[in-house]
Amino acid sequence: MPEPRTYLLADIARHINGEQLGDGNPEIRGIATLRHAGPHDLSFLTNSRYRPELAATRAAAVLLANEDRDATSRARILCSDPYLAYAQVVALLHPAPVPEPGTHPSAVVDPEAIIGSGTQLGAFCHVGKGVVIGRNVIVAPGCIIHANVHIGDQSLLHGNVTIYAGVRIGHRAIIHAGAVLGSDGFGMAREGEGWRKIPQIGGVLIGDDVEIGANTTIDRGALDDTIIEDGVKLDNQIQIAHNVHIGAHSAFAGCVGVAGSARIGRRCTIGGGSVVLGHLEIADDVHIGAAAVVTKSIREPGQYAGLYPLQDKAVWARNAALLRNLDKLERRVRQLEAGATGAGKGKSC
What residues between 257 and 296 interact with its own copies by CB under 8 A? 257, 259, 266-267, 272-273, 275, 277, 288-296
Q: Which amino acid is at 158?
A: H
Instruction: Please list, residue by residue across 287-305, b when 16 or more beta carbons sit within 10 angstroms of its beta carbon and e when fewer do.
Output: ebbbbbebeeebeeeeebe
CA dihedral 312, 318, 319, 325 (to 10 degrees): 160
Give kind and range of the element (H or E) at residue 76: strand 76-79
- How many residues sit in the footprint of its own copies (CB under 8 A)? 136
Q: How far is CA 52 from CA 38, 58, 60, 71, 103, in A?
A: 17, 13, 17, 10, 52
The reply to whether 242 belongs to the active site is yes
We find the least distance from the C-beta atom of residue 331 to its own copies, in angstroms, to be 10
What span, in angstroms and rounded, lies between the C-alpha atoms of 178 and 41? 34
> Per CB under 8 A, which of residues 100..159 are in contact with its own copies?
104, 106, 108, 122-124, 126, 140-142, 144, 146, 148, 158-159
- Going by C-alpha positions, the residue among 319, 310, 268, 266 that lies closest to residue 289 is 268
- Site mask for its own copies (CB under 8 A), range 39-78, x = bound: ----------------------------------------
**8 Å CB contact between 59 and 40:** no
Q: Which amino acid is at 147?
A: A
**8 Å CB contact between 248 and 264:** no
Contact flag: residue 299 with its own copies (CB under 8 A): no
> Per CB under 8 A, which of residues 154..193 are in contact with its own copies?
158-160, 162, 164-166, 174, 176-178, 180, 183-184, 186-191, 193
Contact flag: residue 307 with its own copies (CB under 8 A): yes
Question: 1 vs 56, which CB is nearer to its own copies?
Answer: 1
**8 Å CB contact between 99 and 79:** no
> Per CB under 8 A, which of residues 201..220 are in contact with its own copies?
201, 203, 209, 211, 213-215, 217, 219
**8 Å CB contact between 219 and 241:** yes
> Per CB under 8 A, which of residues 308..337 are in contact with its own copies?
308-327, 329-330, 332-333, 336-337
Q: Of these residues, 242, 245, 249, 287, which one is catalytic?
A: 242
Considering only the stretches 29-37, 55-63, 64-72, 113-121, report the one whose residues sit in contact with its own copies under the rule CB under 8 A. 29-37
Question: 153 vs 219, which CB is nearer to its own copies?
Answer: 219
Residues with a catalytic annotation lie at 242
